[in-house]
Every structure is written in C-alpha cells, then in structure tokens.
C-alpha cells in the first residue's frame, strides 16, 4: 500500500502556504544576469525588466571579463574535478583562490566550500565542543543557525544588534564555565540592510575573552575600504578571528563560499569539516570567475564601483522616501520597502514586473510574520535613469494595488 497520507500531508501544507499568501513563485530568467534582464512573465510572455533584486552589487555577474575567465578556467581544468579536495580534487585554481581571498581580507589562510551555506554549516562543529559556548545574534542567517545546531557547544542568543543583551549573554556563558566563547554575527543583516556593530562586539568580546566570527556575505567586495567588509569599515578587522563569505554575491555571483582565519583554524577545518570532506571540489569556472571578480573588486575599479553604489543607494532611497514609501534607514544597497502584508508584497511585485521592474516580495518565514516587504538591492551598474524608472513603477504599482502612501 502506498503511503497516500504522506502525499496528502504535503498537499495540505502547500495549500496552507498558498492560503496565507506565502507561496514563493520563481521567475524564469531568459538572459544573462544583470541590471537589465529578460524573463518569462506570468502569462508566458517574455518581459524585459530592470533587475532590483540581485546580490550583483558590483555588476560583475554578467561582466564579460568575469565570464571570459570562467571559460578560460573551464578550458584549462575541465567541467569539474569529480572528486572531493583530499582525494584528487585539489587544483592550483583552488590554492590560488584560497591565497587570494585570504590576502584580500588579511588572514593567514582560507578554505573553500560549495557555498557559504556549507561554510557556516562546517565551521562550528570541528572547532568547538560541549565545553564551549556560541553567542549568536538572533537575526543571523539560517545557515549559521543550522551550523550551530550541528555543534555541541552551549548556545546563547542575543537580541539583534543589542549590545546590552550581548554582554548579558557573555556574562552568562562565562558564569556557566565556558572554556572558549565564540560570538557570531552577520556583518550585514540581509533582510534589513543594517550593519552589525562590530566596534562594540569586538570590544565586548575582548572584555570577556571571546572570539568573534563574522559572516560578511553581503559586505565582501561592497562595504569598507577596498570592499574588505564591515569590520574593515569600522576599523576593527584585526579583531575578527573568523570570516565567512560567498562568491555568489558581489564577487562574481557564481557560487561558492569560504572561511578565512588563522592557519591552525583552516588546517583543522581541512581535516574535519564535513561539508569539505564529503562534497565535490569547486568547479574551475567558479574559481576562474571568482578570481577575476576579486581582482576587479579589490582594485581602483572596485573603488569606483563602490562609490557608484553609494550614490545609487542614496539616489534611490531619496526618491522612494519622497514618493512616500517606508524604507529601513541606512546606507547599504539593500533597501527594503516595508509593506507589512504578505499578499500586498506579492501583488506589488507582480504589478512591478508588468511595469518592467523585477523585484521579489519577502514574507514569512524569511522575515517575521506581518513584516512582509519588497527588498530592493541597487547595483553599481544601475544608472540614475534605471532607478527613476523603478521609483515611478513603484508609485504606479501602489496605485494599482490600492495601497496608500505611508
Ligand atoms: C547569502 C548568504 C549566505 C549563503 O551564501 P551562499 O554562498 O549562497 O550559500 C550565508 N550567509 C549570509 C549572511 C548570506 O547573506
């Protein structure tokens, strides 16, 4: 007898998600990723749109130099290595990329993963055990939460960016007799665009003799001098012990993650991290694209692109605020348009696509219930005209959806 009740439960769960307006539709791109894309609209028609929802902060995902580097690396190394790193999957490409990212961010060494999700899943369990403590920001990325679950260390959670609560939790961990304490935070909180207060976090960590780990996925290449991240922006890069990041956002947008830290940390992860030991080595194309993207990001062109992001973000924030939209304050190119209702966020996103602007509504469980939003992300590759077009479309979509200015 087939377990029909099992399939019935899945259908019921899907219906419940749909009834709450929480289904996440996937739009199908038909072009290269970039600030102007072609995609398939709801009725099957092809639509040209301005893309305002990619993590393509420097505009490098479709950059011809990055694409050419991926092709050249594929020609040299093949489609992939058909092996984990320690069997026969380590290529000079990997060593070069590990040296490059470590040098860029100022660490002794780094280690590559298939994704930052895997890096965060890998990092805790080999380094800490039940004698240790992890103190984690309540809004940390899902992959950090999952990684912590895989580790036996005692868990303490502090309210998002709340330094008093962080100190309370550090005191509690010390009082409970923790051997090593690791404070872990996102550098940029991706649903809000807020930066972690790493100045205070590293200061408090110093007082309680704790290590600090930062997941800088939305910052590497984007934030701080030469794009070195949030800690560099705040002048405390030398006080962060472990950084995790991704090649899937500003640094070319292919995929792949990394951990940068002191040599003994990276060496032990190479021996013990399960997503490293039991998963395929990064493909040459990803290494080639990422190396080309880092070269651009850390140089003078990167500085120009970062200045353009700052200008674009200020321009878009100003125009949207003037048009009566409620945004989270800040400077980061993540600019959430707060709408509250999940269905409104979805309907607005649908209307916006009809109007030639590609954005995505975010609702529970990605953000808390009742805090649905359209998260926009500006890129250095947007022109002021692109952004003005998008603001006009937002105003029209709000009218069509019958929502009022805030
Ligand atoms: C995007 C993101 C990740 C996951 O990165 P992938 O390389 O796509 O797996 C992890 N942490 C944070 C904070 C992110 O924003």
Could you identify the residue written with the tokens 């800690």?
231
Domain boundary among 268, 297, 326: 297
Percentage above 70 pLDDT, the chain: 100
Q: Can you give the pLDDT at residue 41?
A: 84
Question: Ligand 1 in contact with 137 (CB < 6 A)?
Answer: no
Report how far residue 128's alpha carbon sits from residue 153's, in angstroms, rounded to the nearest whole number. 6
51 lines ligand 1 (CB under 6 A): no
What is the extent of the structural domain holding 237? 64-297
Same domain, residue pair 194 and 241: yes
- 400 C-alpha to ligand 1 centroid (Å): 34
- Residue 292 in this model has a pLDDT that exceeds 90: yes
Round to whole Å and give the CA distance between 290 and 206: 34
376-391 residue pLDDT tens:
999 999 999 999 999 9
Confidence of residue 404 (pLDDT cuts 50, 70, 90): confident
| Claim to verify: residue 108 and residue 200 sit in the same structural domain | yes
**Ligand 1 pocket test target in 143, 146, 216, 377 with most atoms within 8 Å of CB:** 143
Among residues 280, 269, 194, the alpha carbon closest in space to that of 230 is found at: 194
The SS3 assignment for 141 reads coil
- Say yes or no: 106 and 155 in one domain: yes
Ligand 1 centroid from CA 346, angstroms = 23
Closest CA to 55 of 253, 338, 258: 253
- 125 CB less than 6 Å from ligand 1? no
Cα of 404 from ligand 1 centre, angstroms: 34
Which DSSP string corresponds to 266-313? Answer: HHHHHHH-HHHHTSPPPPHHHHHHHHHHHHHHHSHHHHHHHHHHHHHH
Question: Stretch 234-247: mean pLDDT, rounded?
Answer: 98
Residue 141 has pLDDT above 90, yes or no: yes
Among all residues, which ones are annotated catalytic?
A: 190, 218, 249
Question: What atom in ligand 1 is closest to the CA of residue 118?
Answer: 9
Top mutation candidate among 55, 101, 116, 190 for ligand 1, by most atoms within 8 Å of CB = 116
Phi and psi (nearest 5°) for 234?
-90, 5
The rounded Å distance from CA 379 to ligand 1 centre is 18
pLDDT exceeds cutoff 90 at 113: yes
In the prediction, which pLDDT does 190 show? Answer: 94
User: Would you say the CB of residue 244 lies under 6 angstroms from ligand 1?
Assistant: no
At 25, the pLDDT band (50, 70, 90 cuts) reads: confident
**In terms of domains, do 258 and 172 share one?**
yes
CB-ligand 1 contact for 332 (6 Å cutoff): no
Which of 276, 297, 318 is where one domain is finished?
297
pLDDT for 129 beyond 80: yes
Q: Is residue 145 part of a domain?
A: yes
Is residue 260 a part of any domain in this protein?
Answer: yes
Establish whether residue 115 lines the binding site of ligand 1, counting it when its CB lies within 6 angstroms of any ligand atom: yes
Residue 69 lies in a domain: yes
* 133 and 155 together in one domain: yes
DSSP at 162? -
What pLDDT is recorded for position 21?
Answer: 76
pLDDT of 363 over the 70 cut: yes
For ligand 1, the distance from its centroid to the CA atom of residue 102, given in whole angstroms, is 18
Instruction: Find out whether the beta carbon of 192 lies less than 6 Å from any atom of ligand 1.
Output: no
- Across the range 190-218, mean pLDDT stands at 98
- Residues 38 and 169 grouped into a single domain: no
Whether residue 140 sits in one domain with residue 37:
no
Distance of CA 395 to the CA centre of its chain: 28
The confidence score (pLDDT) of residue 86 equals 97
Query: Is 13 inside any structural domain?
Result: no
- pTM comes to 0.96
Ligand 1, pocket-test mutation among 142, 217, 247, most atoms within 8 A of CB: 217
Q: Which of 297, 313, 346 is the last residue of a domain?
A: 297
**CA 175 to ligand 1 center in whole angstroms:** 33
How far is the centre of ligand 1, averaged over its atoms, from the C-alpha of 117 (Å)?
6
Q: Are 220 and 105 in contact (CB under 8 A)?
A: yes
pLDDT at 20: 82
Does residue 224 contact residue 231 with C-beta atoms inside 8 Å? yes
- The ligand 1 atom at the shortest distance from the C-alpha of residue 215 is 13
CA separation, residue 88 to residues 72, 85, 226, 271, 281 (Å): 21, 6, 35, 15, 9
Q: What is the mean pLDDT of the chain?
A: 96
Q: Work out the pLDDT band at 405, boundaries 50, 70, 90.
A: low
216 Cβ below 6 A of ligand 1: no
Q: What are residue 47's phi and psi, to 5 degrees?
A: -125, 135
Give domain status of residue 46, yes or no.
yes
Residue 406 has pLDDT above 70, yes or no: no
Q: What is the pLDDT of residues 247-284, one digit of tens each?
A: 999 999 999 999 999 999 999 999 999 999 999 999 99
In terms of domains, do 125 and 223 share one? yes
Task: Give the residue among 289, 280, 210 at the shortest CA–CA distance from 246.
Answer: 289
Confidence at 357, pLDDT banded by 50, 70, 90: very high
375 Cβ closer than 6 Å to some ligand 1 atom: no
How many structural domains compose the chain? 2
Is there a single domain that holds both residue 125 and residue 254?
Answer: yes
CATH of the domain at 330: 3.90.1150.10
246 lines ligand 1 (CB under 6 A): yes
- The reply to whether 216 falls in a domain is yes
Pair (202, 105) in one structural domain: yes
Report pLDDT digits (tens) over 50-92: 999 999 999 999 999 999 999 999 999 999 999 999 999 999 9
Ligand 1 centre to CA of 187 (Å) is 11
d(CA 355, CA 368): 28
Asked if 222 and 347 sit in the same domain, the reply is: no
Report d(CA 140, CA 162) in Å as an integer: 13
- In which band, very low, low, confident or very high, does the pLDDT at 37 lie, cut at 50, 70 and 90? very high
Cβ 258 under 6 angstroms from ligand 1: no
pLDDT band at 22 (very low <50, low <70, confident <90, very high): confident
| Same domain? 287 vs 182 | yes
**DSSP symbols for 22-37:** ------EE-S-SSSEE
């Amino acid at each position: 007898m087939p377990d029909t009740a099992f399939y019935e439960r899945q259908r019921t769960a899907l219906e419940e998600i749909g009834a709450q307006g929480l289904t996440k539709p996937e739009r199908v791109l038909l072009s290269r990723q970039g600030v102007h894309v072609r995609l398939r609209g709801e009725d099957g028609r092809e639509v040209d749109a301005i893309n305002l929802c990619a993590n393509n902060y420097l505009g490098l995902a479709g950059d011809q130099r990055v694409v050419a580097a991926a092709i050249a690396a594929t020609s040299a190394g093949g489609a992939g290595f058909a092996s984990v790193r320690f069997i026969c999957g380590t290529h000079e490409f990997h060593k070069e990329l590990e040296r490059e990212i470590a040098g860029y961010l100022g660490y002794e060494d780094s280690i590559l993963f298939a994704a930052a999700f895997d890096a965060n899943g890998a990092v805790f369990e080999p380094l800490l055990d039940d004698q240790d403590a992890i103190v984690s920001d309540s809004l940390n990325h899902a992959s950090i939460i999952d990684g912590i679950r895989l580790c036996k260390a005692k868990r303490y959670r502090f309210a998002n960016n709340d330094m008093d609560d962080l100190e309370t939790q550090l005191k509690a961990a010390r009082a409970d007799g923790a051997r090593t304490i690791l404070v872990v935070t996102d550098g940029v909180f991706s649903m809000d665009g807020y930066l972690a207060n790493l100045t205070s976090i590293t200061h408090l960590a110093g007082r309680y003799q704790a290590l600090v780990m930062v997941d800088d996925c939305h910052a590497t290449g984007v934030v701080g001098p030469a794009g070195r991240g949030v800690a560099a922006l705040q002048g405390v890069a030398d006080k962060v012990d472990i950084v995790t990041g991704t090649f899937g956002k500003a640094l070319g947008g292919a995929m792949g993650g990394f951990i940068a830290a002191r040599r003994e940390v990276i060496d032990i992860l190479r021996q013990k991290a399960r997503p490293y030991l039991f998963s395929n080595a990064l493909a040459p194309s990803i290494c080639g694209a990422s190396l080309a993207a880092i070269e651009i990001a850390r140089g003078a062109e990167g500085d120009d692109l970062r200045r353009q992001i700052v200008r674009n973000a200020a321009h878009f924030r100003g125009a949207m605020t003037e048009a009566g939209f409620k945004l989270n304050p800040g400077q980061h190119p993540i600019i959430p348009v707060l709408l509250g209702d999940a269905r409104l966020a979805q309907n607005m996103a649908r209307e916006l696509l009809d109007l030639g602007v590609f954005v995505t509504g975010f609702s529970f469980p990605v953000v808390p219930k009742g805090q649905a939003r359209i998260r926009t992300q500006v890129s250095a590759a947007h022109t002021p005209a692109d952004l003005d077009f998008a603001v006009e479309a937002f105003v029209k979509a709000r009218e069509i959806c019958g929502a009022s200015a805030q």
